[in-house]
Structure 1
Amino acid sequence: MGSRVTRLIRNFNLENRAHREIGKAKPKIAPRHPSTKNNEKTITPEVSKTIHEKNESLLMLLKTVYVESKDPPVKPLQPKKTEVEERRPLNVTLPPNSYGISEITDVPKGKLSIVEALSALNQHKREPKAWSPEKLAKEYSLDLKDTKALLEFFIPFDVKIIPPKPKDTKQIEDS
């Protein structure tokens, strides 16, 4: 029902509005810069004639040009040589049947599993002096720069506890 009403309003007097838009004066063209006005007057009829006529000597030179292109030979695709990544065993013990995480036994050097990242963050939060970024980097085979960034920007344990309201606060009663 609403679409019919909106269609009627939208199409009301459409033809007259279209003719009014078409009949409006066209916008003026921006004036030319004074430096370009001189260039238009310099083209004389003789110059335009020489521009548009065929030059036989240039045409013969163009016909003598022969371009030959060759594609480079296609090499068959070879699988990339797989570099053996250095791997290290997990530093944490996982409870059995923890949603498929226990299947992971080792991790590439320079990377962390989720469980290791959480345990490293927890260790650093509990004892920041004992578990410094340098020690965590050495323990988990990480770059020091990456370890510092992990400790600075990844904060999953930032819990804010809102204290409960005291019971002796006065409240406005509805009457």
Structure 2
Amino acid sequence: MVLLMTYYPEVQKKLRQEIETQIGDRMPTHEDRNRCHYVMAFITETLRFRNIVPMGVPHKAVVQSTIGICCRNDEDWQKGSEFRPERFLDSEGQFMTTRPKAYIPFGVGRRVCLGEKLAIADLFLVLVRFLQSTQDYDIVLDSNCGIDADPNIADAFNPYDYKIFHI
């Protein structure tokens, strides 16, 4: 999430503005998720855009099967290769709690992750506290490390080494 905020400074700015207006400097609570629509959309889009565990738990099919990967293709997502938290906001800017069928960062069916709700709650609290504690800084990539700030070139299985600074 921090790396995506460096790629998209306008997203970082929107996150900080929403946190400032909805929460301020106080500790975030579970109930704040209902007021921080853009923060929740950012977390959801991050999980769609870059899998935390791209392989999941290995399983073996009992019959030959073909499974389409639906995190970045345009059949399942409009402009799926673009990072756009707004895709999880409705026309009034409210976070959409119903997810598209192609949203599967925690798996589907009987094998869905039991810790999904806890993970989302923790991601929200950690992200908000991180942005509150760095409110006087912009989080940016180190321009001297020789890495192009393009989120589409990173290989999910072999990510690059990054140096992130606050200025």
* TM-score, structure 2 normalization: 0.19
**Greater RCO (CA < 8 Å, at least 6 residues apart):** 2
Larger Rg: 1
